[in-house]
Amino acid sequence: METTQLYNQYTRLLQKAADLHNAAALLEWDHEVYMPAKGAEFRGRQLATLAAMAHEIATGTALEETVNALKTSTGLDEKQKSNLRLSSSDIKKNKKLPTAFVEALARQTTECFNAWIDARRLNDYSVFEPFLTKMIALKQQQVALYGYKNHPYDALLDDYEQGATVAMLDVVFNDIKEKLPPVLAHIKTAEQVADDCFHQHFPKQEQWDFSMEVLRKMGFNFEAGRQDYAEHPFTTSFSPDDVRLTTRVSEDNFAPLLWSTIHEGGHGLYEQGLPAEQYGLPGGSAASLGIHESQSRLWENCAGRSKDFWTGFYPVLQGYFPEQLADVSLDTFFKAMNKVSPSLIRTEADEVTYHFHVLIRYEIEKGLMDNSIHPKDLQTVWNSMYEKYLGITPPDAVHGILQDVHWSHGSFGYFPTYSLGSFYAAQFYEHATRQLPGLPQQVRTGDFTALLAWLRQNIHVHGRQYTSEQLCERMTGEPLNMDYFMTYIADKYAEVYR
């Protein structure tokens, strides 16, 4: 068979697996957004069936033989060679997981998520604990199937950030423990910032309408996506032409919907920017979760929490909420959104203390994988770590151990990418500003066309062709460098806290 025919066959097989994955993703989205409670049992069965079918294609003889035949073919371009190299690696990894295991994991994910919802409703970790224990046992089994050299957690980290290890991340989180406490200490000595303007009554519909206006300005295409409400905000994509965002709202606090929407909007723009012609192939997938988080954190923080951003948007926001914000100046609003104070909820944390939330989850996940921490002790461990790193203790499970959806999904190894993403974001935004001299003025007028085009050209279009580190070096001329983040927060908080 000639090269073109072989490559078309390879594409068809991967796209068929992608169709199954995306059908499952649609059912998962519906599960978290619209599904009636009684549908959970059959939904778990449906998801398990689709996961098994997709896994059988991804590990099947037909795909492996086609990829092996193409390795010796001539006439392939660099993108095609990259796809084949990545697919070959994916096949080897996927084959380590038996289909029965993949099916069991999918079923447990559904059960675990439902238990998490019930536990949050009852504010009782003990409702979630037996289901989480089963999930952790499955993830430990996955570690054993994958294999590892140094730390068992390494096997799971690689699923989200290729090449990431405990040895590498310990350096990152030791930097956090060394470099961020002096910033916090300095801020504590400054005149403190009030955020009362966020804690008023903001009607749900007006919040929603403003969030939709922000997403449109950012460049999110509503003909290729939508936004809905969910218990925990997330983004999922079934193709670049069908990307779903979710957010949550509190009528007593404008912050949750505002930052969730902008954050998930950043994820959504990345998904809409992936090359549609590479659907199902590595070239049509995100580079890593760290790079994905860099997009959400860049929009949420580097742009969204800047005074430039709100120079244009604040008068619009005041138009939505004249009674609440008419007497609140832009400067007051800017300082309020950047208030630094230890808090309980990760998704609502400021940019400095946020990384201690991630650090806590990183240390817990390491302990769960090497059995130095046990699920029955998690709430106690969680509370003691919050006291240790942030000086606060959660009053209940909802504001503590039950706040994140990730463990109910089996997403162990995801959390470290939040900090990596923030550090990449600061480095990327600095270089975008250097390469786009008119960017600050454009942001002040609500024009994000050039910024989005820069991200499309430098990140989105490449899919998985490059690793995170390779992308970073291509864009900025150096590997990930936390100094960009430290300079960024020093400059911002010098203005906020004088």
**Dist CA 226 CA 79 (whole Å):** 30
Supply the pTM of this predicted model: 0.94
List pLDDT tens digits, range 139-148: 999 999 999 9
pLDDT at residue number 231: 86
**Dist CA 257 CA 328 (whole Å):** 20
Catalytic residue among 264, 293, 300, 469: 264
Q: Regarding predicted confidence, which is higher, 72 or 147?
A: 147
Q: Which residues contact 418 (CB under 8 A, 6 or more apart)?
A: 293, 297, 354, 358
Q: Identify the CA nearest to 128 among candidates 139, 118, 136.
A: 118
**Dist CA 219 CA 241 (whole Å):** 14
pLDDT at residue number 73: 87
Q: What angle do CA 323, 325, 327 make, to 5 degrees?
A: 95
Q: Identify the CA nearest to 314 among candidates 336, 345, 339, 288.
A: 336
**Is 277 a known active-site residue?**
no
- As a whole number, the mean pLDDT across the chain is 96
Query: H-type helices in 246-377, by residue range?
Result: 255-273, 289-297, 307-320, 322-325, 330-337, 354-369
Token reading at 195: 């955020």
Classify each residue of 195-222 as buried b or exposed e, where b means 16 or more C-beta atoms within 10 Å of its C-beta: bebbeeebeeebbbebbeebbebbbbee
List pLDDT tens digits, range 40-60: 889 999 999 999 999 999 999
**Dist CA 434 CA 184 (whole Å):** 29
pLDDT at 406 over 90: yes
Mean pLDDT calculated for residue range 125-135: 98
Identify the CATH assignment for 166-496 out of 1.10.150.530, 2.40.170.20, 1.10.1370.30, 3.30.530.20. Answer: 1.10.1370.30
What is the pLDDT confidence band of residue 166, given thresholds at 50, 70 and 90?
very high
pLDDT at 476 over 80: yes
